[in-house]
Amino acid sequence: MPKAFSDKEREALYQKFLDIGEECWGKYGVKRTNVEEVARLAGVAKGTFYLFFQNKEQLFHDVLKRGQAKINEMLNHVTDTTSYDDRDRFIRAIDTLFHEIKNYEWLNRLLCEDGDYSFLFDSTCETAAGSSNSAYDLMGLFSMPATVTPFAFAACIRSLFFLLLHEKEIGETEANEAFSLLLEGLTIRIYDYGQRMTLKDNA
């Protein structure tokens, strides 16, 4: 029978499970990770795992939620810079996010075409990479004109990050330059085109 934990012990073990979840996601992916391995790495019995999560999908869902919270904190830090206009803050935020994601192998797997994104989405896990609600919030954060749908915007952002998957084939320098160029083009399309359409509608 699994032991009882104090609140402090429970929180510490929960965070440890999330850390192990990130590690296993990066090494093996969602499908190849099993509960037995997670419990072994945590140094607890398999039954203890189920005191925290119903299944491994819930573990990875919580890993995503924690990752999204970190990303939101980072974006808020960037957008709190008042010396830049909306379009410059958008470029700075997405560029920062691009380079930050390079440090997280599990996020690279999430974005992979044949990786874990669709698997988790089918398990009803919403993610920042694909949630239209998150895209809508992000558009509002940078005061974007209503000329692009949240679905199209989310698809554009995710397409930009696909460059991470092919950085070795493209070359790191070339991939970084391509990302900057595509991001600049997307920004022009969103803000300049949106402004022209708004002026046209008001004419």
Instruction: Note the pLDDT of residue 48.
Output: 94
DSSP E strand stretches across the chain? none
Residue 91, pLDDT above cutoff 50: yes
Q: Which one, of 110, 77, 94, lies nearest residue 186 by Cα?
A: 94
* One-letter identity of residue 135: A
Q: Where are the domains of the chain?
A: 57-202
Flag whether the pTM goes above 0.85. Answer: no
pLDDT confidence tier of residue 126, bands split at 50, 70 and 90:
very low
Tens of pLDDT, residues 60-87: 889 988 887 887 787 777 777 656 788 8
Assess whether pLDDT exceeds 50 at residue 5: yes
